[in-house]
Structure formats: structure tokens, C-alpha cells
Amino acid sequence: MLIRTPKLSELKENQLTAQSVYSNRRNILKGLGYLGAGALLTGNKANAFNLFGTADKSPFKTRDLSFSQLTSEIDKQILTPDQKVISHNNFYEFGTGKSDPVEASQNFKVDPWTLKIDGLVEEPITLGYEDLYKAFDLEERIYRLRCVEAWSMVVPWIGFPLQKLLQKARPLSSAKYVAFETLYDPKQMPGQKSRFSGGGIDYPYVEGLRLDEASHPLTLMSVGLYGKTLPPQNGAPIRLVVPWKYGFKSIKSVVSIRLTDKMPPTTWNRLAPSEYGFYANVNPQVDHPRWSQGSERLITTGNLFNRNRVATKMFNGYEEVAPLYKDMDLTRYI
């Protein structure tokens, strides 16, 4: 059984790199007890943006998905503080700086939303905005997120395994890969207006997984974090989270999931194939051509220097995925 619930005593900061930090609490969220729109948390008024981007001036509202027993039980020290998770972002559609997404995305409209699952499937599926929260039991999972830029966070996500969605769509035997696409809407996403403003990316942002990777129980479609629906800067209303791969694989604001028989193009690989592979598994033995991947800066209080540097683990500590790659040479750049 791959899914396990760690004992709370296991989840100490000094053990983070020694083991997977992963939790599965189906029962907490079963039945989806979200409390409706507009449930804002009171935040520090001195901050430009309060919890989940619900800035005083922001029209964007998150809503409760559930009271999170898990995140309140666990020593807050092991989780990256919520204010960091929602203000230190990569989302080039809203600018290339870490603070651009929270500032530029607060008018982003997530309702109505359409997510299509099609291609080589028996049963194409279309999910609307409310379906994202209701079609599957939601689970809370604490995952490490390791960016290819050598920083990392520990995030309590809420979502459902992609496997569940794929099972419902029933992939044909010819399906070998899954291709993902982010919304293309330059009116709402300033980075998509020109290559210059969007970091040279040819939008929409696209990603891909092998079907067996996509079907792994760790692969999550996330609709929330820290007990709330996702704020726009983190990929509202739905994003992928693949914890054993570099963060760029975890594509945000997904509108299309297509089953295919060919390896799909992926945004960063297309942009710089010598720097970003299709697989992009976290691997401390294979350095990025311009920097080491042997260690990472654990983002906690925002210290820019090396105080929170920890060793990077193979597969980001999720060793249970190793069998997926047993026939591959992991000392190569892939």
C-alpha cells in the first residue's frame, strides 16, 4: 500500500529530508463540508495581501473547504507558513518575479471554469467549476514542493488523486501519456500578452506525464491549500501536484487533460531542452547545467541566505516511485 498516514511524531522539521512528508486524510474532507463563499480569514492588516490573496482591495475570495484538523494538529514549524506559500510563487502568466503573481492575479475569474478530459479515452469528461470540488472525495496531503531553482516548501494541499479522474474517463489501451494545458486568456493573464512579459514562453503553458506517472496514487489534482480553495497565484481553481518532480511539472489553472499515444511537448523543455527534461524527477545527483541540485533552500521565514539549506533527496524523498523508472538511467539528464 503506497498511501500512508505518518504519525504526527514523525513530522518533525529535522526529519523532513529523511523521509517523505505525505499525508492522506480522506475522512477529514469526506462529503465536502465547505462553508460557502466569502469565508475570509482575518489577516494582518499591515500586509498588502492577507491569507490566500484575499487582500483588502482584492475581489478574489477563497472559501473554506474544511477546517483542517491535520494542519492544526501538526507542529506549524514543519509547514511553510501560509503567507509564504501564497506570496512566493512562480506563475509566469502573471509575471516572472516571485511577488508578481499575487499582485497581478487578484481579478482572475475562476467561475465559470471548464476542465476537459479527452483524447484516447472511452468516456470524455467535462467538469464545471462546482464539479471540481464535488465530483471526487477531497483529501488533504502534506507534500514537499521542490522547485528546480533549488528552493522548497512544505504545503498542505487539498485535492483528489488524478488516478480517480483517469479511471472515470477510462483510458484506451493505446493511451501512453497525459498532456495538460493551462488556460489561455491574455486579457486576464498579462504574461500571455507577449513573449517579453511572459518570460519567453510560448503560451499556453503545457505539461505532460507518462500515463503510469499520472496514475500513481501520489499524483494529485489540487483545488485547495491550508483548508481553503486555491488562491489564483497558486493555480486556482485546479492544478496538478507531482511531489517527486521539480515544481515546473505541477501545472496551474488547468483547462485540458488529454490522453495521447505520443510524449507531449512541455513548456520548459521546449524553451530550454538542455536545462529541463520531460521527466524532471528531483535528483540530487544530476545538476542543472547552471547550478547544483544537491541541496535546496527550505523556505520558512523568507531568509534569502543559506540558513535553511538542506540536502535534496532522490525523488524529493518519495522513494516509492522508484519502480516507475527502473529501466531508466537516472544518472543522465532526463
Residues that bind ligand MTE (CB under 6 A): 89-93, 145, 147, 182, 205, 234-235, 247-248, 250-253
Query: Residue 90 burial by CB count (10 A; 0-12/13-18/19+): exposed, middle or buried?
Result: buried
CB of 110 to ligand MTE, least distance (A): 14
Residue placing its CB nearer to ligand MTE in the complex, 102 or 259: 102
Q: How far is the CB of 42 from ligand MTE (least distance, A)?
A: 23
Task: Decide whether 91 or 171 has the Cβ nearer to ligand MTE.
Answer: 91
Min. distance of Cβ 281 from ligand MTE in angstroms?
14
- Nearest residue (CB) to ligand MTE, 127 versus 154: 154
Nearer Cβ to ligand MTE (94/120): 94
Q: Which residue is nearest to ligand MTE (CB)?
A: 247
- DSSP β-ladder status, 239-241 and 125-128: unpaired
* Least spacing, CB of residue 200 vs ligand MTE, in Å: 12
Residue 268 CB, shortest distance to ligand MTE, in Å, is 7
Least spacing, CB of residue 313 vs ligand MTE, in Å: 17
Q: Which grid coordinates are listed for 120?
A: 484516447
Distance CA 135, CA 8 (A): 30
247 vs 277, which CB is nearer to ligand MTE? 247
Neighbours of 8 (CB within 10 A): 13
In terms of CB distance, is 16 or 175 closer to ligand MTE?
16
The least CB distance from residue 92 to ligand MTE, in Å, is 4
Measured CA to CA, the distance from residue 318 to residue 309 in angstroms comes to 19
- Residue 165 CA: distances (Å) to CA of 123, 231, 248, 262: 11, 22, 22, 20
Give the nearer residue to ligand MTE in terms of CB position, either 24 or 234: 234
Contacts of 320 (CB under 8 A, 6+ apart): 2, 20, 218
